[in-house]
Amino acid sequence: MDPISQAFDLVLQWQVVGAVVAAAIFGLLVGAIPGLTATMATALLVPFAFFMDPVPAVGMMVTCAAMAIFAGDIPGTLLRIPGTPASAAYAGEGYAMTLRGQAELALGANLLYSALGGLFGTAVLIFAAPTLAEIALNFSSVEYFWMALLGLTCAVFIGASSPLKGLISLFIGLFVATIGLNNPAGVPRFTFGSSDLLAGIDFIPAMIGLFAVSTVLSTVAAGAPAWEVAQKGMGNIFRSWGTLLRTYWRQQLRGNVLGTTIGALPGAGADIAAWVAYAISRRFSRQPEKYGTGHVEGIVEATSANNAAVSSAWIPAFVFGIPGDTITAIVIGVLYVKGLNPGPTLFLFNPQTIYAVFLIFILANLVMIPLGWLVIKLTKRLLQAPRRILMPLILAFCMVGAYASNNSVYGIVVMLVFGVLGFFMEENDIPIAPCILGIVLGPLLEDRFISAMIRGDGSLLFFFERPIAAGLGVVVLSIWAFSLIGWLRRRRKLAQAPAG
């Protein structure tokens, strides 16, 4: 039987379809609640993924992520509180439309273009990934080292608002990854005699702590106040779709292409895609003066881009095992637990699994339309869901989930430590995403680095001896150089400003 029909067999089972639909509803609900991010939704699913077969487990997380990125637009539009950071770029624009009584037009555009963007990104993923995997089969440890470094570099210098704080976050993550026995020399590091620490910091409770517990802590600190919705009624969201599709097909296409490209870069994901797409849309618009006053054009382009990026972020994740953003980082962690080591060999040995996941991508973006419509209908009640009841329940869920990762309270201890760490990092404007990428990529980076150092006998030139490695190396080093020069220039300008 060929892999594609095997993939259909894997997907068309009631457990898989059921898991996808349940994850879709969960993702929509979590994404629609302000302050709960798509990453958090994915992290909360990890304990379940643990107990499932690989295909439903990955399918569940993939679906949940796509839904949460769309649903993040809902509170962004209605309350000006983006549900997830990927919606932040156009939350102001959407809210302006709500104030003019056009919430259904904005949300309709969000739903339509999110689904279409996701499908576009998926199409690129399906065609590009196997080809790239063939190239990746020739990669040696040096190329992997540079790829991992490229991902981390993008996360720090492009993703973070302050590269310095991004670097700090990255080093925290890399340090956490060094704890335990799992290193090229097999020496226990930073374990201080603890047998729990020998296995390293468990990834799942760390993730739950960084994303969910820190959110609970900051909400509790604020006293979990309720929200006020500006627009009371909600009209028919489908009515405007025909006009939108005819008027804004250029913006849609540009957003899709841009989002897919940014998503496919290791270390850059949906948030950045949305910001860049919104800026480009404004730059090339015939009516740039309307932006910010409740104009749907920028929303179309940015929402097309962020969902396309969510799909294409899986390209580096599946092909190289290098996560494009925090969500793919979590799923890569789960893939390793499931024994499906992401990388080009996945396409060689388990093509049916990969095709099954592709099918789930398509399925997820199709069920987004009816379920999304339902959530928009229910949205007023959803936003009234009191956070003071949600937060303790989320915390309880986190604790049981962290416990379930290895059936011991050690998981909860890790979760608590990382929850407090995440809270402290947010207080000091240190972004969390580079830390996660550091934890996930740290072991790979170290392993490839040490083995390349040993093979090259300590010569740094060895890192540039193969053509692809040299190319990647030059890209990474030039991103570093440009960031450093830019930073120094800004310093100098700042230093001159008070004098001038």
Given the rule CB under 8 A, which residues bind other proteins? Answer: 47-48, 50-51, 164, 167-168, 170-171, 174-175, 178, 183-187, 189-190, 213, 216-218, 220-224, 386, 388-389, 391-393, 395-397, 399-400, 403-404, 407, 409, 412-413, 416, 419-420, 423-424, 427-428, 446, 449-450, 453-454, 458, 491, 495, 498
Least separation in angstroms between CB 184 and other proteins:
7
Least separation in angstroms between CB 452 and other proteins:
10
Range list of H helices, 33-102: 38-49, 54-71, 73-79, 91-99
* DSSP string over 236-293: -TTTTHHHHHHHSHHHHHHHHHHHHHHHHSTT--HHHHHHHHHHHHHHH-S-GGGTTS
Residue number with CB closer to other proteins (373 or 403): 403
Residue number with CB closer to other proteins (215 or 312): 215
End-to-end CA distance of the chain: 75
Least separation in angstroms between CB 401 and other proteins:
8
Least separation in angstroms between CB 251 and other proteins:
38
Least separation in angstroms between CB 223 and other proteins:
7
Least separation in angstroms between CB 303 and other proteins:
31
Residue number with CB closer to other proteins (185 or 461): 185
Least separation in angstroms between CB 17 and other proteins:
18
Residue number with CB closer to other proteins (254 or 387): 387
Instruction: Determine if residue 36 is left, alpha or beta; phi over 0 gives left, psi from -120 to 50 gives alpha, anything else beta.
Output: beta
CB atoms within 10 A of CB 302: 34
Residue number with CB closer to other proteins (413 or 470): 413
Do 432 and 170 meet the contact criterion of CB atoms below 8 Å apart? no
Residue number with CB closer to other proteins (106 or 433): 433
List b or e across 113-137, with b for residues whose CB sees 16 or more CB atoms inside 10 angstroms. Answer: bbbbbbbbbbbbbbeebbebbeebe
Cα–Cα distance for residue pair 61/65, rounded to 1 Å: 6
Residue number with CB closer to other proteins (49 or 368): 49
Q: What Cα–Cα distance (Å) separates residue 493 from each residue in 163, 481, 488, 500?
A: 18, 18, 9, 10
Read off the DSSP letter of residue 104.
H
- The amino acid that residue 207 corresponds to is M
